[in-house]
Structure 1
Amino acid sequence: MELKKRAGHQGTGPGAITPDGCAVELYARLAAGTEPDVVAAAVPAGAHILELGSGAGRVTHPLLERGFTVTAVDESQEMLDRIRGARTVCSPIEDLDLGETYDVVMLASFLVHAADMEVRRGLLRTCARHLAADGRVLIQREGEDFHRNVPRERVDPAGYTVRIVSAEPVGDGVTSVHAEYEFPDATWTQTFRSRPLTKEQFEDALAEAGLEVEDYLTEDRIWVRARRAA
């Protein structure tokens, strides 16, 4: 499948770079952090999870280790080739229609902040389309200060440094974000476009797709559990 480069997205560093600027080797190295714990606490044990935007399996593999069944979807086959133990599907998320429903649909990695509003609508429609009647959607939002207090950096316990170098408005409510990932032996950069969403805008976007917030799972409201709208 030939992937079209996404406008305003680019990446640098060793190894393959996907059209949206993600470095495959970088994503294979990134630590999962607390995300698998958040997911595991929010859904039934052993649930079948449709993971939209799995990348190289950073969260997929810890979820498998916790006893979940995972169908991992990504538009990059090179990313999916790094995943072991899960069914994988190579497809743009917004085009996905598996004809199946799942206990849990997961849209992480801030994908809901797609700069293109039609892409965002497609992502959320895909979530709704694959959701079982009593299922739940887990969505990861940007922190409300994500585009402020820049530049900033954090050192991950795994031994690498993540920097948000800049976040510059480029018009129509969209921001161009430049990030750096510095490891002892290599450095990667990624530039991507993001559309910040207030809590109200986010909830309106869910409603448009026939979804509603059930609860915010973390105090910072980054992780959200949603359901079919009543």
Structure 2
Amino acid sequence: MDVTADGCSVEVYLLLPPAGEPEIVHAAIPPGASILELGSGPGRVTHPLLELGHEVVAVDDSPAMLAHVQTETVCARIADLDLGRTFDAVLLGSHLINTAQDTDRDAVLAAARRHLAPSGRLIVEWHPPEWFDTVASGQGGLIGEVAVELADVVRDGDLLSATARYSARGRHWRQEFTCRRFALGTALTSADLSFDGWLTDDRTWFAARAGRRG
């Protein structure tokens, strides 16, 4: 069973369907906009975006994940990425911005910034600060046929650690993770980015633009 460096099971991610993410991204950018997707996994969001008419380059550090992606792929760590070209949109989903270490988040945002066209838009999914106050063990639900449940939630200042438990087709998987609450404005400014609006009512998706606004 293939498992990525951060503990993701390729098998379970192949079973997870998109949950509205492609539509959120599509509505936030121009028709046909080119997209650099950071942390694509096996193409759960990539493939619907292709069907919606976008050119997508998918980036992941797992060859096992990228083996399932049906578009141009790049196997690399996000922080190290430098393709020498820019895109109409850069997508940073799956709460990857909530890294446990501030330096890792800064590196991810810097990578997104250097691939963003001057008029482009960065599209981000994150855990907003209020999520850290309300999340609890036992929360979960169904994503397609996959049952998801959080367990072992532990808070330590701005850090939150937990285990995501997945089950489907008589199989069970688990993935431990740690994420950090942070000040959005400060993080964006440090990466020469500026906030450009919320994309969902629950504020779990937002957009940013290149450069700082006065």
Name the SS of the counterpart of 1:61 in structure 2. Answer: helix
C-alpha contact 2:165 2:174 (8 A) present in aligned 1 = yes
Aligned pair in 2 of structure 1 residues 147, 136: CA closer, same or farther (>3 Å)?
same
C-alpha contact 2:197 2:208 (8 A) present in aligned 1 = yes
Q: Distance in 2 between matches of 1:157 and 1:27?
A: 11
Name the SS of the counterpart of 2:2 in structure 1. Answer: coil
**Letter in structure 2 aligned against 1:98:** L
**Which deviations, in whole Å up to 9, do the C-alpha atoms of 1:41-84 show, x marking residues without a partner?**
11011111000000111100111111111000001111100111
Q: CA deviation at 1:25?
A: 0.9
Name the SS of the counterpart of 1:165 in structure 2. Answer: strand
Q: Which residue number corresponds to residue 185 of structure 1?
A: 170
Aligned residue among 114, 136, 159 for 1:150: 136
Q: Which residue number corresponds to residue 187 of structure 2?
A: 205
Q: CA deviation at 1:147?
A: 5.5
Q: Give the RMSD, CA atoms, in angstroms.
A: 1.4
TM normalised by structure 2 equals 0.94
C-alpha contact 1:147 1:167 (8 A) present in aligned 2 = no
Please tell me whether residue 61 in structure 1 is matched to residue 47 in structure 2.
Answer: yes
**Letter in structure 2 aligned against 1:132:** A
Q: CA deviation at 1:196?
A: 1.8
Q: Which residue number corresponds to residue 225 of structure 1?
A: 207
Q: Which residue number corresponds to residue 93 of structure 1?
A: 78
Q: Which residue number corresponds to residue 11 of structure 1?
A: none
Aligned residue among 79, 93, 105 for 2:90: 105
**Letter in structure 2 aligned against 1:212:** S
Name the SS of the counterpart of 2:59 in structure 1. Answer: strand
**Letter in structure 1 aligned against 2:140:** R
**Letter in structure 1 aligned against 2:27:** A
- Count residues with an aligned counterpart: 211
**Letter in structure 2 aligned against 1:196:** R
C-alpha contact 1:154 1:161 (8 A) present in aligned 2 = yes
Please tell me whether residue 27 in structure 1 is matched to residue 13 in structure 2.
Answer: yes
Q: Which sections of structure 2, spanning at least 5 residues, go unmatched? A: none
Aligned pair in 2 of structure 1 residues 120, 80: CA closer, same or farther (>3 Å)?
same
Q: Distance in 2 between matches of 1:27 and 1:168?
A: 25
Name the SS of the counterpart of 1:128 in structure 2. Answer: helix
Q: Which residue number corresponds to residue 7 of structure 1?
A: none
C-alpha contact 1:179 1:189 (8 A) present in aligned 2 = yes
Aligned residue among 36, 47, 52 for 2:22: 36
C-alpha contact 2:15 2:145 (8 A) present in aligned 1 = no
Name the SS of the counterpart of 2:166 in structure 1. Answer: strand
Q: Distance in 1 between matches of 2:167 and 2:133?
A: 20
Please tell me whether residue 135 in structure 1 is matched to residue 117 in structure 2.
Answer: no
Q: Distance in 2 between matches of 1:145 and 1:117?
A: 18
Q: CA deviation at 1:117?
A: 1.1
TM normalised by structure 1 equals 0.87
Q: Distance in 2 between matches of 1:27 and 1:57?
A: 9
Amino-acid identity (%): 40
Q: CA deviation at 1:27?
A: 1.1
